[in-house]
Chains A and B, each alone.
Chain A
Amino acid sequence: MAERDVPEGLIPHRGPARLVQTILDAAGTDVLVCGGWIPAESAFAVGGRAPAVIALELAAQAAAVQQALAGKAGAAVAPGYLVAVRAAIVRVDDVAANVPLVATVRRTGQAGPLATYDVTVTGPGGREILTATLSTHAGD
């Protein structure tokens, strides 16, 4: 599958809150690989770097993209919520802003609006930044 931009209206994140940028691969209905970065103008970036744990937000947004792609076309875009993080391992302290990151999310469970994902975020050269299990709520 060719790389393509995440459509503007697919998720509600905008401006410096929008970390996910592209869909790199959609390998099956439950797996999605997205590209993105932490913008230098993010509230969490100082001196061009941000805490690595912010990469969890990129993974959460990739999960929101997966939910949107798997949902009904034309459905209203509602803010979703990160409701839990489990078994997160953070490999580095911080990451450079505006540097390409890759988030791979695999949906492992779904019950109504609640979904669970195993996620990995890597940086340049495939260096692992973090892994975790996220639970999200699709919102109202």
Chain B
Amino acid sequence: MATEIFDGLTVVQEAVDATGWRARLRVETTSRAFAGHFEGQPILPGVAHLVIVRHALRAMGGASATLRALPSVRFREVVRPGDVLDVSVRPPDAEGRSRFDVRIGDTLAVTGVAHGGDDG
């Protein structure tokens, strides 16, 4: 069974190394994330990308790692059912900032900076 980050977001490829977390994700047309968002014009809620970043921080930092702050995020392009996302989350720099981006093919969909931390 394919791994999902949330309902209908399937992990096609995922890798973690010294350069960070990279993944190819498929947004299934059947994802409940599109239910009611919006009728006849389904788009992925922007916060879905932030759930992906939380998942990446945990993949890089361990089970207790979590998302603590988002100094800046820009949503540049909407994501629709069936889109394939290429996501990159870099390891934290000296100030704890992890830069991330989400692409749909050659199109930059989301960019941002996140701070991770331990849960609790």
Chain B positions within 8 Å of A, measured between CB atoms, are 6-8, 31-33, 35-39, 41, 43, 45-48, 50-51, 54, 66-75, 78, 112, 119-120
Contact = CB atoms under 8 A, between A and B. Distances in A.
Contacts of B78: 81
A82 interface: yes
Nearest to A86: B72
Contact of A81 (B66, B72, B75): B75
Interface string A43-80: 11010000101101100100000000000000000010
A85 B72 contact: yes
A81 B38 CA distance: 11
Contacts of B73: 84-86, 88
A57 B47 contact: yes
Nearest to B66: A93
Contact of B71 (A12, A13, A53, A87): A87
B33 A81 contact: no
Given A16-B36, A43-B31, A89 B51 contact: no
